[in-house]
Each structure stands twice: as C-alpha cells, then as structure tokens.
Amino acid sequence: MAAILESVMAPVFKSTQPTTSRRAFNSAAPTTTGWSRCRQIYCERKDEATKGFAVLRRKTVALILSGCVFTQIDFRSFAFAKPSVGFREYIDTFDGYSFKYPQNWIQVRGAGADIFFRDPFVLDENLSVGFSSPSSSRYNGVEDLGPPEEAGEKVLKQYLTEFMSTRLGVRRESNILSTSSRVADDGRTYYQVEVNIKSYANNNELAVMPQDRIARMEWDRRYLSVLGVENNRLYELRLQSPENVFVEEEDELRRVMESFRVNKVT
C-alpha cells in the first residue's frame, strides 16, 4: 500500500517543485568574468573622472598663479614708475626774489636761512635762499664778484667754511664741477656754480697706529648755487642733493635753478 501511495504521490510532489534548474540559476547569477568586466568599466570611468578633475585642478591652479604673477608685475611697475613732478612757485615780494620748487617739498622754519625747503623723504636734499645786507656791502651787479670762475672759488670757500668740523679724523674733499653765466628772461645776469664735496671720517679716530684709523666716506653731495644781484644785495639760491639722488632728479633740480629770479623791491 505504501509503495502504491509513493508511486502515485511522487509525480505530484515533483510537479509542485520549482522547475528552475541549477543551470538556469547559474546563468542568471553573474559569472566571475562578468564581475571582472564590471570592475574594469568602473575603474576606467573612475580613472577618466580622476584625470578630468586633475586637468581641471591644474588649469585652476595655473589661472590663479598667472593672476598672481600679473598682479605682481603690475604692482612692481606701478611702484617703480617715476611719477611726474609738479612745481609750486614761491614769491617773496618783501625781500625781492622768487623761485619754483617741487610741490611735495615742505618748508622748514628756523633753519638759519631766509627760506628753506626740503624733500620730506630725502632729508639731505633741500634748497634755501640767503642774501647780503645792503648796509655791509652794496652790489651793482653779479659781475662785482668777478668772472664765474672766480665766483665759484668764493662759493666753494664759503661752503668749506660752513662745513668745517672740529671732530678728529674728519677730512673733506671738494671739487668745482662747473661755473657759468646766463642772462634770464628778466634781462638780469645770473651766475651758476656746481660743487661736489665728500666727507670722510675715521672709524677709530683715537687709535694710535695709522693702520687702525681707516677713513670711510660719510656723505657725497652735490651743491648748486645761483647768484643774482638786485636792490644792492647779493642773492643766492642753494640746492643740496646727495650725488646718487642728483643723478635721478637732475632735470627737476636744474629747473629749480633756472626758475630763480631777483626782483626790485619798491
């Protein structure tokens, strides 16, 4: 009986079981080769994305750096560009003279001259005007000083007297660079004198042995004087500038010299 039941029920049980075979199941599941291909595609896309990001990053960095470089170039060009120099005119109607000076120079009072201006950044660069007293000497013209060469010797002697030092080991070297005469647009004759003076000082002025007293240059300056006569007075415009600064600003300083005029006082 049991054998009969088993023989009858067996086809029923077999028909109710899933008909999907192992081969079908295995074909539905990804094979090892499929996984490798997927991984390869994923890696390739990842590499492409990484390369794209790297290229974008390099371009971005290059753009930033180029901007910085151009910014620095523009800044340096601006920083070292020589600005145009403007001038102001100073007129003294009471004492009878006038001149032009760089507009950024400032006036300094109590400097021992009738008027004194200086560069606010280069303190050794300045100008001043002085004049003689008609009670002590009466001038009819600048020719009273003699020819320009003789006037240059007197100007240099005056400079050296004023710069005389009582310090030990100080030595001054001087040289007259040029002397000239010109007639300005006011019809008056002016003398121009250019002088170079160097100052040397020992680094150890109290040393006993000469080899221990080494002279070093303290300063090297250009002095320019313009001389004119009016109102029985001798007027002098003085310009002082370090030699290295004079080379750069010669045109401006010569314009100041040429602008100097003496005027009749009424």
Centroid of chain to Cα 187: 41
Q: How confident is the model at residue 20 (pLDDT cuts 50, 70, 90)?
A: very low
Q: Please answer whether residues 92 and 131 qualify as being in contact, where contact means their C-beta atoms are separated by less than 8 angstroms.
A: no
d(CA 174, CA 257): 21
pLDDT recorded at residue 49: 52
d(CA 171, CA 134): 35
Percent of the chain with pLDDT over 70: 64
Q: How confident is the model at residue 29 (pLDDT cuts 50, 70, 90)?
A: very low
pLDDT per position as a tens digit, 204-240: 665 566 666 678 899 999 999 999 999 999 999 999 9
Q: 108 in helix, strand or coil? A: coil
Percent of the chain with pLDDT over 90: 55
Of 26 and 174, the structure prediction assigns the larger pLDDT to 174
What are residue 101's DSSP bridge partners?
88
